[in-house]
């Protein structure tokens, strides 16, 4: 199943568990990280694209011209990425989702793995 077909199965807010499941299947969906530069510099999802929230309306169409492509917006916890999702939907994007828990929740997988190894 390709990313365009998955939109009917993905909720508006995608959990970190759901993203990890996609990754375990070998899929790397398009991630848009809307945090500020200093946050991005401290760490980010390896295959994410960075575009601060303040630039989404002006620049997202040049970065993601296919408005039907699966895009998962990410920030620290999910608040700014929810705003990015709303902005992108207003621009006509049809398959954009918010990563609930954000980068902080995404990083928790490593912490869970380390706890399980003890």
Q: Encode pLDDT of 5-62 as tens digits.
A: 344 456 689 999 999 999 999 999 999 999 999 999 999 999 999 999 999 999 999 9
Q: What is the pLDDT of residues 56-106, one digit of tens each?
A: 999 999 999 999 999 999 999 999 999 999 999 999 999 999 999 999 999
Range of the domain at 86: 11-117
- Give the domain CATH number at 82: 3.40.250.10
The DSSP code for 11 is -
Share above pLDDT 70 across residues of the chain, in percent, rounded to a whole number: 83
Does 69 fall in a domain? yes
In a domain, 99, yes or no: yes
In contact, 75 and 13? CB cutoff 8 Å: no
CA distances (Å), origin 50, targets 43, 46, 98:
11, 11, 15
């Amino acid at each position: 199943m390709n990313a365009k077909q998955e939109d009917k199965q993905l909720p508006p807010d995608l959990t970190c568990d759901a993203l990890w499941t996609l990754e375990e299947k070998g899929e790397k969906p398009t991630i848009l990280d809307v945090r500020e530069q200093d946050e991005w510099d401290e760490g980010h999802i390896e295959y994410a694209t960075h575009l601060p929230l303040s630039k989404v309306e002006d620049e997202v169409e040049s970065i993601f011209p296919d408005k039907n492509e699966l895009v998962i917006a990410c920030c620290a916890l999910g608040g700014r990425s929810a705003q990015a999702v709303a902005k992108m939907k207003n621009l006509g994007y049809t398959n954009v989702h918010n990563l609930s828990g954000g980068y902080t929740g995404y990083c928790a997988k490593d912490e869970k793995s380390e706890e399980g190894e003890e």
